[in-house]
């Protein structure tokens, strides 16, 4: 039987496994020829060093990325000068993708990791290469123990490849960040993997997501991981087991004076026992290093809820607390809200999906009248109903510090609108407004122009009127300290709205982020918006879908690229071949834009797309220090 092409390529590689470099050089002869013109070779040694000295491969990254982009990987500098990474890249057009393309990318990655110690960051979580040739990639990681950031997924890989990967990771000695997704750690590998975690003296961030290991392995991993509390700052675990001993080890780590853990996230923990919950909750009261705590789908009882409340009374460091789907509304609604009355540190609180009812709304409204530190409160997907929503909105009349109250999808009755009118809280209450609510939001922005900093509108109304959007755009020009705008509505942008957005961007001195998700504007209106962005010198993030398929809009986009010196992220650009070629040439002058999503349905535009991607990479590199 004739072998499949993928098996033939792998067999060729395995035959020269002892010294694969000549085979790789022959296979990638087109890359080798391009390098020889520049006096270089694939076999040249790594030239990276201390003092942010860049390796020669960064100077030739454009050649290498023609191979790597086929599998959504790019070679670039990450974080600072001289720190080279193989990271995920969102590619708009891959061109023809076959086994040969995947194989070439794999062996190039293998060559880099085998011979270039300058590569510190490896992100293969979304790469086609992981599914194509995992044996080659695992072997490559064994040769490079200098990787400091590793993000790997074993999703859809055969079980025996997980073993190779864990063996490779177990040999690393300088990890700073580790993220494992869908990885199986067998009992026989537990000791080696755990000892690797214990040996890392600079490990700052660990994230486990939906991995498979026994309770014994979970205990060992958590015990070793939490022993280095003087370096670990971020710990996230999602859909994993902690184990009894592992939970106790985490609890003990949290109360140590040497603990520097700033972010703890435990989501959908498997077999999360009450004893484990109690151990962790009890330690929160004595910990003073945590800034962010997330507990998702932790089904609290009255007893565990009371322990959590007691610890929150004592804790003086947590600023962001996420307790979505934790059953607080059924277990300790009154006690939790009493704690909020006196808490002076929590600024961002997420209590979505916690079964709060009308009684819970009354308790929460009393807490809001007393609390002066909360800035953002998410109460979406609870059981307040209209009466509860009205009670919560009413509390805002005595609370001037809460900036964002998320209620999610609510029934917008006349009584609810009246409650919003009474306290003029449209600019602070986040729910899916219809046209009536958006009109009132516009009025509220004008009347509170001196204090409005963020405007948010997410409407599900299919009959949202363009005049309503027009009023909102007019109102946006009133605030003097506006920092961000987010609007999503099924509406068209008319000429007046476009001109108001142009004026907003032209005169603002504070706006940093502008996101407009609506129907695509007409050619003339898009030109007006782009002209406003051209004259702006504050916005760093602009999200909108722009269709540049003619000369006027393309010219306006090019003028924006040439004149704007602050924009780092542009939303989505839809354009044809000719216009894309013009935009690619125009980008050569711009040195600030780093992110741009390009959409095009035509085939054969890989060269143009690649040029745009390469220019964006250049701009990102310029900002590194």
* Average pLDDT over all residues of the chain: 90
pLDDT, tens digit, 9 for 90 and up, residues 218-237:
999 999 999 877 899 999 99
Judge whether residue 94 has pLDDT over 70: no
pTM: 0.91
Lookup: tokens for 420: 């919003």
Interatomic CA distance for residues 384 and 357, integer angstroms: 5
pLDDT, tens digit, 9 for 90 and up, residues 171-203:
888 899 999 999 999 999 999 999 999 999 899
Find the mean pLDDT for residues 410-434.
90
Q: What is the pLDDT of residue 9?
A: 62
At 23 the three-state DSSP class reads: helix
Judge whether residue 136 has pLDDT over 80: no
Could you tell me the pLDDT band of residue 5, with boundaries at 50, 70 and 90?
Answer: very low
Q: CB within 8 A of 400, min separation 6: which ones?
A: none
Q: What is the pLDDT of residue 425?
A: 87
Going through 52-174 in order, the beta strands assigned E by DSSP cover 73-77, 84-88, 119-123, 149-153
> In this structure, how many other beta carbons lie within 10 angstroms of the beta carbon of residue 329?
24
Q: CB within 8 A of 308, min separation 6: which ones?
A: 281, 284, 300, 332, 336
Lookup: tokens for 283: 């330690």
Interatomic CA distance for residues 491 and 434, integer angstroms: 11
pLDDT, tens digit, 9 for 90 and up, residues 451-467:
899 999 999 888 899 99
Residue ranges of domains in the chain: 1-143, 319-431
pLDDT, tens digit, 9 for 90 and up, residues 236-254:
999 999 999 999 999 999 9
Judge whether residue 358 has pLDDT over 90: yes
Could you tell me the pLDDT band of residue 92, with boundaries at 50, 70 and 90?
Answer: low
Lookup: tokens for 620: 């990102």
pLDDT, tens digit, 9 for 90 and up, residues 366-387:
999 999 999 999 999 999 999 9
Whose tokens are 């004026």? That residue is 503
The strands making up 541-548's β-sheet, listed across from edge to edge, are: 454-458, 484-488, 513-517, 541-548, 569-575, 595-599
Lookup: tokens for 363: 């308790």
Judge whether residue 4 has pLDDT over 60: no
Interatomic CA distance for residues 343 and 314, integer angstroms: 9
pLDDT, tens digit, 9 for 90 and up, residues 335-349:
999 999 999 999 999
Q: CB within 8 A of 535, min separation 6: which ones?
A: 505, 506, 563
Specify burial of residue 315 (Cβ count, 10 A radius: 0-12, 13-18, 19+). Answer: buried
Q: What is the pLDDT of residue 24?
A: 78
Q: What is the pLDDT of residue 1?
A: 37
Q: What is the pLDDT of residue 128?
A: 66
Q: What is the pLDDT of residue 35?
A: 93
Pair type for strands 84-88 and 73-77 = antiparallel
pLDDT, tens digit, 9 for 90 and up, residues 97-106:
777 888 888 8
Could you tell me the pLDDT band of residue 16, with boundaries at 50, 70 and 90?
Answer: low
Interatomic CA distance for residues 368 and 488, integer angstroms: 28
Number of residues that this document lists for the chain: 625
Interatomic CA distance for residues 494 and 177, integer angstroms: 48
Give the CA dihedral 607, 613, 617, 618, nearest 10 degrees: 50
Say whether domain 319-431 belongs to CATH 3.80.10.10. Answer: yes
Alpha helices in 28-127 (DSSP H): 29-37, 56-59, 61-68, 99-115
Find, among 413, 356, 419, the residue nearest to 382 by Cα: 356
Give percent of the chain above pLDDT 70. Answer: 93
Find the mean pLDDT for residues 85-93.
82
DSSP state of 96: S
């Amino acid at each position: 039987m004739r072998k499949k092409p993928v098996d033939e390529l792998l067999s060729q590689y395995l035959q020269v496994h002892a010294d694969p470099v000549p085979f790789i050089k022959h296979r990638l002869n087109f890359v080798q020829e391009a390098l020889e013109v520049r006096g270089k070779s694939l076999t040249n040694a790594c030239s990276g060093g201390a003092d942010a000295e860049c390796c020669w491969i960064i100077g030739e990254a454009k050649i290498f990325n023609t191979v790597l982009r086929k599998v959504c990987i790019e070679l670039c500098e990450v974080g600072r000068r001289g720190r080279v990474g193989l990271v995920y890249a969102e590619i708009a057009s891959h061109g023809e993708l076959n086994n040969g393309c995947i194989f070439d990318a794999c062996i190039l990655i293998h060559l880099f990791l085998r011979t270039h110690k300058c590569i510190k960051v490896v992100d293969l979580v979304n790469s086609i290469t992981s599914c194509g040739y995992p044996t080659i990639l695992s072997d490559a990681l064994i040769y490079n123990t200098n990787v400091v950031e590793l993000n790997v997924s074993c999703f859809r890989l055969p079980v025996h490849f997980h073993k190779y990967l864990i063996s490779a990771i177990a040999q690393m000695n300088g990890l700073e960040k580790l993220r494992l997704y869908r990885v199986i750690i067998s009992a026989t590998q537990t000791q080696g993997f755990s000892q690797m975690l214990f040996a890392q003296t600079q490990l700052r961030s660990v994230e486990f997501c939906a991995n498979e290991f026994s309770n014994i392995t979970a205990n060992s991993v958590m015990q070793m991981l939490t022993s280095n509390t003087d370096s670990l700052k971020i710990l996230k675990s999602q859909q994993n087991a902690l184990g009894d001993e592992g939970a106790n080890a985490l609890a003990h780590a949290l109360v140590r004076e040497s603990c520097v853990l700033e972010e703890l996230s435990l989501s959908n923990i498997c077999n999360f026992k009450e004893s484990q919950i109690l151990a962790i909750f009890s330690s929160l009261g004595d910990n003073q290093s945590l800034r962010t705590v997330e507990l998702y789908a932790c089904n609290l009882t009255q007893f565990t809820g009371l322990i959590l409340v007691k610890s929150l009374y004592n804790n003086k460091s947590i600023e962001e607390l996420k307790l979505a789907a934790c059953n607080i509304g059924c277990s300790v609604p009154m006690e939790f809200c009493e704690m909020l009355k006196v808490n002076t540190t929590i600024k961002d609180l997420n209590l979505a999906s916690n079964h709060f009812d009308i009684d819970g709304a009354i308790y929460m409204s009393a807490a809001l009248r007393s609390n002066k530190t909360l800035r953002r409160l998410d109460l979406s997907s609870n059981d307040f109903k209209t009466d509860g929503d009205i009670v919560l909105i009413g509390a805002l009349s005595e609370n001037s510090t809460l900036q964002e109250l998320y209620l999610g999808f609510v029934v917008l009755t006349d009584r609810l609108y009246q409650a919003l009118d009474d306290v003029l809280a449209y600019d602070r209450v986040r729910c899916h407004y219809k046209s009536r609510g958006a009109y009132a939001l516009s009025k509220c922005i004008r009347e509170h122009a001196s204090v409005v900093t963020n405007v948010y509108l997410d409407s599900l109304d299919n009959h949202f009127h363009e005049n309503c959007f027009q009023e909102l755009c007019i109102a946006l020009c009133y605030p003097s300290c506006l920092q961000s705008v987010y609007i999503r509505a099924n509406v068209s942008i008319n000429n007046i709205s476009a001109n108001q957005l142009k004026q907003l961007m032209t005169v603002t001195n504070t706006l940093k982020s502008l996101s407009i998700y609506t129907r695509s504007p007409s050619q003339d209106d898009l030109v007006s918006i782009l002209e406003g962005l051209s004259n702006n010198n504050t916005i760093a993030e602009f999200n909108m879908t722009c269709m540049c398929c003619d000369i006027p809009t393309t010219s306006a986009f090019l003028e924006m690229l040439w004149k704007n010196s602050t924009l780092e992220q542009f939303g989505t650009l839809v354009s044809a071949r000719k216009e894309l070629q013009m935009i690619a040439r125009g980008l050569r002058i711009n040195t600030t834009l780093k992110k741009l999503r390009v959409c095009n349905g035509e085939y054969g535009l890989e060269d143009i797309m690649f040029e745009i991607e390469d220019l964006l990479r250049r701009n990102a590199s310029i900002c590194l220090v």
